[in-house]
Amino acid sequence: MEALATHLLLDLKRCNSALLDDLDFVRRSLIDAVAEADATMVGESFHKFAPVGVTGVIALAESHISVHTWPEYAFATVDILTCGPKVKPRRAADLIIHRLESEEPSITELQRGTVRELSTITQQ
């Protein structure tokens, strides 16, 4: 089934809490993941919470990568939504898992917008 987009949902448990609270490190990790996936970055926004936590999003020509961290629980969530045949979202996921030192990562993969389904809708 051909899909328009692949959406990876990462739950990263047992991460390095100090890394999760380091805005520059989290930002650099996501930027490196964009390169690893062969994607094209078109914008970014990151925020450091007080007392702890980081959130951020990188807009891609091919969609986006976002992160939210809970250092106090050694936990982070990451969404990687990509479209196009050249982008490799699993490579981005692997890099982020490694960088945040998650000892218990899980990845849920969704195929979004199947071409067959959408073609039927537009023909109605």
Residue 119 has pLDDT above 70, yes or no: no
The catalytic site residues sit at: 63, 68, 83
| Per-residue model confidence as pLDDT tens digits over 55-73 | 999 999 999 999 999 999 9
Average model confidence (pLDDT) across the chain: 93
The whole-model pTM stands at 0.90
Across the beta sheet with 75-83, what order do the strands follow?
A: 41-48, 54-60, 63-70, 75-83, 3-13, 104-114
Domains and CATH numbers, the chain: 3-122 (3.60.90.10)
Report yes or no: 85 and 39 within 8 Å, Cβ to Cβ.
no
| Per-residue model confidence as pLDDT tens digits over 31-51 | 999 999 999 999 999 999 999
Banded pLDDT at 84 (limits 50, 70, 90)? confident
